Chains A and B, each alone.
Chain A
Amino acid sequence: MSDQEQERTEVKPESQHIALKIQGSGFPELVIKVKRTTKLSKMMNAYCDRAGKSLSEVRFMFEGDKLRPEQLVQDLDFDDGDFDEENPLVIDVAQEAVGGSL
């Protein structure tokens, strides 16, 4: 939580900040602003804290690609034209899935 609050207080409408909207079925929706150089693990941990989930059972995806904690925000495959203040980048979040047989 503290990470996130920190992010919020730091936020200034600068181009180096990116708004991320995290959403998924069964998960709370959350919009956070992060620096381009932030590690994704920071965002992931903050979100998991809030959602009350363990990081190992939650999957973050950006446009169909699974995100890894060690990636930086700027590693995400997006163009600057893809988002703005109104339309943040959407990070999909999903629960771990298992299967063996029906």
Chain B
Amino acid sequence: MPALKRPLSAHDSPDAHRSPDYRADAVVLRGASPSSNKRVRRDDIEQDSSPATWVAPWGALFTQGFDFIKEAAKSAYNLATTSTSLPHPAQQPTRRLSAPTANGISPLSRRELKQLKLELKKLKDELVWHRMEARARGDDMSKDSPEVFDLKQQMDALKLRIEGAQRAKHSQLAANGGLFGPDANSARAMGGSNGLSNGASGTLGLLGGYQRKKPMGSDKHKADLANRDRATVEELRRDAQLRKAASTNDVRTRYRGLEFDVDDEEEAPEAEDALEERVYRQKNEQMLKQEDAKLGSKHIKLHRARAGETARQHRIPLTTSSLVRPSALDRSLFFPGPSAYPTKNGVVPSTQLGRSASSSRLEYALRQAKKTVEEPTREALEKYEQMRKELKELDEKADLELEEVKQKKRQFPKALSAEHQARAKAIFADRAYDVSMKGGSAAHRDIIRLEKRTWLNDEIVNFYGAMINARSDEADKREAKEGPKARGEGVKRLRKAFCFNTHFWNMFGDHGFSRVKRWTKRFDTFEKDIIIVPINHNNSHWVCAAVNIALKRFEYYDSLGNPSAFVYDRLRRWLAEEHKSKKGGKEIDLSEWENFWMEDLPLQANADDCGVFTCMFMESLSRDVDGFDFEQKNMPYLRHRIAIEIDQQKLLDLEPWA
């Protein structure tokens, strides 16, 4: 180690160029450290005793750090290759936790390390100070001034030193049996070389025998954390990819994260098409064979002769267009069975096969049909045209009228009339308020829910249902007296409706049909147009379902816009049971009944109004409506309107229709 052994002058010290204040600080700082003498080798101290050189070993290390490390690395390399034993005894460190460190850099205690770091920080501060000064002076910042350059070099050396010391500690731990498992042996064997390669490995890893070690202590903890984070990120990314793939149904995206050959996946859809094409061709051939067998081989031979080619080749012309999947129409026309379209010679001409088969068959059928019709005279034609025109006009007129009637909508004002407003105010203010009618009753605690945005309870919904039933019954009576016109017209036509109590749904769901069997005893369910079923989901959401007997469909209206399969199932189950019970055990055929969901349903825009929506759905369904005319913005008005209706125990027609 010539670099160290050389007597050091004050000039070599890193502090030499600094202000005296700083140097003094540094000395005091080092002198104050109880373990500072450990860092300075005895022989160095003996050589120099002046304050400047007293700190010199480190100065030498800083300024000549690279040479020194090169030397260390070289000796480490020699040691590692020649497998010589421990280094020179003079360089044996005197530390308690000594490990064979041939290069002379011993692992430092935590306190020493801390001090080194403190020095580094000081240097950094000085660097910053220099830079600020330079900036204040207006120097060129792109170039480092000599002081800054010096400082930088010192800092680099110090960093190297700290790093080396940390590594030395690790290797020492490894050598002392800090490692277990398969790594422990190699670590012990490498103990010497590992230890002496510290410092060098960072910059001169090629020379040193440094090996990556299993992280220990806090490093291990950090590594574990990093690994965990990486795994989490990886997992999240994979997750996101899969989700994206699921949503886009994109095969490429779905398999990107996985080890699949994407190209293979790409071919899959085409292969599917090919399969379908094959099945299609097989079907064709089978059908043609059957036809041939029926018609006998004579015609086929004739046909083959005429075509000049084998019929088989003709049957499926393998042009690119024939590879296109045939449309549903093509297929339905192509597989009607041989008897559906009798051909000229009793044979299917080759030109009529494949994709063009349908059109030529149709043309043929048209020709045949035309032949059966006599040639029309001019007068007949004119008369026919005239009639057609009139019919068309009539149709259009009827359509228009129907549209007008169907499209009639209530124009909801912003507020009730003054009179009704006053009444509503009185209702909400009356704490002893109580109103009842057949099938419903409401007290103050119920009706107050209509005042502002509050959840409605079953009393309000039931009361509304009772009013709907009363109106429907009344219409039935009127109809019996005055005829069907008495039910009203267009959207105002009152359906033969029955509205269940809100507890019907859960009663049927929880206890089965027997408990609700008698709920319809006063009328024939299958004579009604519609059975309205208000539903309370989980004591938190009101929705409206209906069994539309006239239109043969199960309907569901949820102001949150969630179609729910179990609702349709339960309605279906109820209707089947109801039919059995009402029609003496006869099963009803529900295969044609559809589950109806309206796409442009008015939706609630808050978390409180579903009860009002449900009431309005119920009321609309009891009329002949095709869609709904209310929406979220009408809700405050409709709440008070319902209160007025409940107060009068009668559904009111307050709004203008347009």
**Which A residues are closer than 8 A to B by beta carbons?**
25, 56, 59, 61, 63-66, 68, 70, 77, 90, 92, 94, 96-102
- Chain A residues within an 8 Å CB radius of B520: 64
Q: Are A101 and B521 in contact (CB under 8 A)?
A: no
Q: Are B503 and A94 in contact (CB under 8 A)?
A: yes
Q: Are A98 and B519 in contact (CB under 8 A)?
A: no
C-alpha spacing A61/B1, complex, angstroms: 104
- Min Cβ gap A25→B in Å is 5
- Min Cβ gap A60→B in Å is 10
- Chain A residues within an 8 Å CB radius of B609: 100
Q: Are B458 and A59 in contact (CB under 8 A)?
A: yes
- Interface 9-mer from B191-199, B230-238, B437-445: B437-445
- Chain A residues within an 8 Å CB radius of B581: none
C-alpha spacing A66/B442, complex, angstroms: 11
- Chain B residues within an 8 Å CB radius of A77: 522
Q: Are A64 and B500 in contact (CB under 8 A)?
A: yes
Q: Are A100 and B540 in contact (CB under 8 A)?
A: yes
Q: B456 at the A/B interface (Cβ < 8 Å)? A: yes
- Chain A residues within an 8 Å CB radius of B515: 90, 92
Contact of B604 among A56, A63, A70, A101 (CB under 8 A): A101
Q: B172 at the A/B interface (Cβ < 8 Å)? A: no
Q: B206 at the A/B interface (Cβ < 8 Å)? A: no
Tell whether A94 pairs with B506 under 8 Å between CB atoms, given A100-B541, A101-B604, A102-B537: yes
Q: Are B501 and A66 in contact (CB under 8 A)?
A: yes
C-alpha spacing A97/B458, complex, angstroms: 5
Chain B: CB-nearest residue to A77: B522
C-alpha spacing A77/B521, complex, angstroms: 10
Interface pairs A-B: 9 shortest CB-CB: A64-B519, A100-B455, A99-B542, A101-B607, A97-B536, A100-B608, A102-B541, A97-B458, A94-B503
C-alpha spacing A92/B502, complex, angstroms: 13
Contact of B538 among A63, A65, A68, A102 (CB under 8 A): A102
Q: B96 at the A/B interface (Cβ < 8 Å)? A: no
Contact of B518 among A25, A63, A98 (CB under 8 A): A63
Q: Are A99 and B503 in contact (CB under 8 A)?
A: no
- Write out, one digit per residue, whether chain B residues 552-596 have a CB within 8 A of any chain A CB (1) or not (0): 000000001010000000000000000000000000000000000
Q: Are B441 and A68 in contact (CB under 8 A)?
A: yes
Tell whether A100 pairs with B503 under 8 Å between CB atoms, given A66-B439, A70-B436, A77-B522: no
Tell whether A97 pairs with B541 under 8 Å between CB atoms, given A64-B504, A68-B436, A70-B436: no
Count of interface residues, chain B, beta-carbon cutoff 8 Å: 48
C-alpha spacing A100/B500, complex, angstroms: 20
C-alpha spacing A100/B211, complex, angstroms: 67
Q: Are B539 and A100 in contact (CB under 8 A)?
A: no
Tell whether A98 pairs with B501 under 8 Å between CB atoms, given A70-B436, A77-B522: no
C-alpha spacing A66/B500, complex, angstroms: 11
Chain A: CB-nearest residue to B510: A25
Chain B: CB-nearest residue to A92: B507
Q: Are A65 and B608 in contact (CB under 8 A)?
A: no
- Min Cβ gap A80→B in Å is 15
C-alpha spacing A77/B438, complex, angstroms: 11
- Chain B residues within an 8 Å CB radius of A100: 454-456, 540-542, 607-611
30 pairs of residues in contact across A and B, judged by CB atoms under 8 Å = A25-B506, A25-B511, A59-B459, A59-B503, A63-B521, A64-B500, A64-B504, A66-B462, A92-B515, A94-B458, A94-B507, A97-B502, A97-B503, A98-B456, A98-B457, A98-B536, A98-B540, A99-B456, A99-B539, A99-B540, A99-B542, A99-B610, A99-B611, A99-B614, A100-B609, A101-B560, A101-B604, A101-B606, A101-B608, A102-B562
- Chain B residues within an 8 Å CB radius of A66: 439-441, 462, 466, 501
- Min Cβ gap A3→B in Å is 22
- Chain B residues within an 8 Å CB radius of A59: 458-459, 503
- Min Cβ gap A53→B in Å is 15
Q: Are A96 and B608 in contact (CB under 8 A)?
A: no
- Chain A residues within an 8 Å CB radius of B540: 98-102
- Chain B residues within an 8 Å CB radius of A101: 540-541, 560, 604, 606-608, 610
Q: Are B536 and A56 in contact (CB under 8 A)?
A: no
C-alpha spacing A52/B93, complex, angstroms: 87
Which of A56, A97, A101 is the most central at the interface, judged by chain B CB atoms within 10 Å of its CB?
Answer: A97
Chain A: CB-nearest residue to B460: A98
Q: B316 at the A/B interface (Cβ < 8 Å)? A: no
Q: Are B537 and A99 in contact (CB under 8 A)?
A: yes
C-alpha spacing A64/B538, complex, angstroms: 20
- Chain A residues within an 8 Å CB radius of B521: 63
Q: Are A63 and B519 in contact (CB under 8 A)?
A: yes
C-alpha spacing A37/B524, complex, angstroms: 31
- Write out, one digit per residue, whether chain B residues 425-463 have a CB within 8 A of any chain A CB (1) or not (0): 000000000001011110101000000001111110010
- Chain A residues within an 8 Å CB radius of B466: 66
- Chain A residues within an 8 Å CB radius of B604: 101
C-alpha spacing A96/B506, complex, angstroms: 12
Q: B288 at the A/B interface (Cβ < 8 Å)? A: no
- Chain A residues within an 8 Å CB radius of B610: 99-101
- Write out, one digit per residue, whether chain B residues 508-542 have a CB within 8 A of any chain A CB (1) or not (0): 00110001101111100000000000001111111
C-alpha spacing A98/B455, complex, angstroms: 6
- Min Cβ gap A46→B in Å is 19
Contact of A65 among B439, B454, B502 (CB under 8 A): B439
- Min Cβ gap A87→B in Å is 12
| New contact pairs (12) apart from A101-B541, A101-B560, CB-CB < 8 Å | A56-B445, A59-B503, A64-B518, A64-B520, A68-B436, A90-B515, A92-B507, A94-B503, A97-B536, A98-B458, A100-B456, A102-B541
Tell whether A61 pairs with B503 under 8 Å between CB atoms, given A101-B607, A101-B608: yes
Chain A: CB-nearest residue to B521: A63
Chain B: CB-nearest residue to A64: B519
- Chain B residues within an 8 Å CB radius of A65: 438-439, 501
Contact of B516 among A64, A68, A98 (CB under 8 A): A64
C-alpha spacing A70/B435, complex, angstroms: 12
C-alpha spacing A83/B445, complex, angstroms: 35
- Chain B residues within an 8 Å CB radius of A96: 457-459
Tell whether A98 pairs with B539 under 8 Å between CB atoms, given A65-B438, A66-B441, A66-B501: yes
C-alpha spacing A102/B536, complex, angstroms: 10
- Chain A residues within an 8 Å CB radius of B458: 59, 94, 96-98
- Min Cβ gap B47→A in Å is 86
Which of B501, B541, B608 is the most central at the interface, judged by chain A CB atoms within 10 Å of its CB?
Answer: B501
C-alpha spacing A65/B458, complex, angstroms: 13
- Chain B residues within an 8 Å CB radius of A64: 500-501, 504, 516, 518-520
